[in-house]
């Protein structure tokens, strides 16, 4: 297989993966672009092979999900006035697409997409491990560093200084009005 047969930036694939209904999915329009086929052709191939796409492999977005997607992602502006609801493919659904779209490009693109899903799983796993370690460290050293944290908080707290009066102040001796015992000259 020729290494230059397919040149899809990894981040392009990763940006096309969304979290919808707590599942990582790719939309039919993005997959069609990657596979180099019209979205309509991709959806027709899926429709001809419906048995290969159970609900855990592929589902249609609800109108609310579609509107939220259009609102949050400018690149889906073209879906705003479309009456068709996009299809969302899970990792297994994307894998099944390569058998439905029987072409060399579909196979090559599919391999890259599967690698992107694996990278995302690895990144999420690494973040969870890091978070667990951080929580453990905080619990372990919380008492020891309490003094340090208190000192830092004290330094961060603003000091209460008396405020200077703003403006022009005239200092004159006080006038003596109505004082008794004052001699007139």
Percent helix / strand / coil, the chain, rounded to 5:
55, 10, 35
**Tokens at 7, concatenated:** 């040149």
pLDDT tens-digit profile of 93-125? 888 887 788 777 777 787 788 788 788 777 777
Distance, CA of 29 to CA of 35 (rounded, Å) = 10
24 contacts 84 by C-beta, under 8 angstroms: no
- Which tens digits make up the pLDDT trace of 29-63? 888 888 888 989 899 999 999 999 999 999 999 99
Predicted pLDDT at 138 = 63
CB atoms within 10 A of CB 6: 16
Per the structure block, which two tokens stand in for 15? Answer: 């940006």
Considering the chain, what percentage of its residues have pLDDT values greater than 90?
16
Q: Which of 54-68, 97-111, 128-142, 167-181 has the highest mean pLDDT?
A: 54-68
At residue 3, the pLDDT reads: 46
- Residue 99 token pair: 């058998």
Among positive and negative, which fits the CA dihedral 11, 7, 90, 73? positive
Secondary structure element (H or E) that encloses residue 151, with its range: helix 146-156
Query: How many angstroms separate the CA atoms of 91 and 113, rounded?
Result: 9
């Amino acid at each position: 297989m020729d290494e230059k047969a397919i040149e899809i930036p990894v981040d392009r694939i990763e940006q096309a993966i969304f979290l919808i209904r707590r599942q990582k999915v790719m939309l039919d329009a993005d997959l069609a672009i990657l596979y180099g086929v019209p979205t309509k052709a991709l959806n027709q191939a899926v429709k001809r092979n419906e048995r290969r796409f159970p609900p855990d492999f592929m589902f249609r977005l609800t109108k609310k999900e579609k509107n939220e997607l259009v609102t949050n992602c400018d690149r889906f502006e073209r879906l705003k006035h479309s009456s068709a609801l996009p299809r969302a493919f899970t990792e297994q659904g994307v894998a099944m697409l390569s058998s439905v779209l029987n072409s060399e490009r579909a196979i090559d693109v599919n391999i890259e997409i599967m690698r992107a899903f694996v990278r995302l799983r690895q990144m999420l796993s690494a973040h969870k491990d890091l978070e667990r370690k951080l929580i453990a460290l905080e619990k372990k050293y919380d008492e020891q560093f309490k003094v340090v944290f208190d000192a830092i908080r004290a330094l961060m707290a603003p000091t209460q200084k008396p405020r200077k009066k703003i403006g022009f102040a005239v200092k004159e001796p006080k006038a003596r009005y109505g004082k008794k015992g004052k001699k007139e000259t």
